[in-house]
Amino acid sequence: MTIVLADADAHFRDRLKKRLEKISYAHVVGESSDSEETTAMILNRKPDSAILNSSFRDGCGIEVLRHSK
């Protein structure tokens, strides 16, 4: 399973990534801290799953989902 992580807090992303790396079938294919970069990453890398914060400094997690579906 490929995953994109998106949250403004780099420390949170790092902790979550370390936990996900313990799952043999989970592979983090990208990390982001803003909505525009996250949308582009999802569209380009086509992950199986995305873990998003509900709000970013430059937008909203819901908008990321709308733009990337």
Looking at domain 2-68, its CATH superfamily turns out to be Response regulator (3.40.50.2300)
- The domain locations on the chain are 2-68
pLDDT, tens digit, 9 for 90 and up, residues 18-27: 999 999 999 9
35 close to 66: Cβ distance less than 8 angstroms = no
CA 5 to chain centre: 2
Q: What band does 30 get if pLDDT is binned at 50, 70 and 90?
A: very high
pLDDT, tens digit, 9 for 90 and up, residues 35-66: 889 999 999 999 999 998 777 776 667 677 77
Report angle CA 7, 29, 8 to the nearest 5 degrees.
10
Q: What is the pLDDT of residue 21?
A: 92
Report angle CA 54, 59, 63 to the nearest 5 degrees.
70
Predicted TM-score of the model (pTM): 0.84
CA 66 to chain centre: 14
Is the per-residue pLDDT at 29 higher than 90? yes
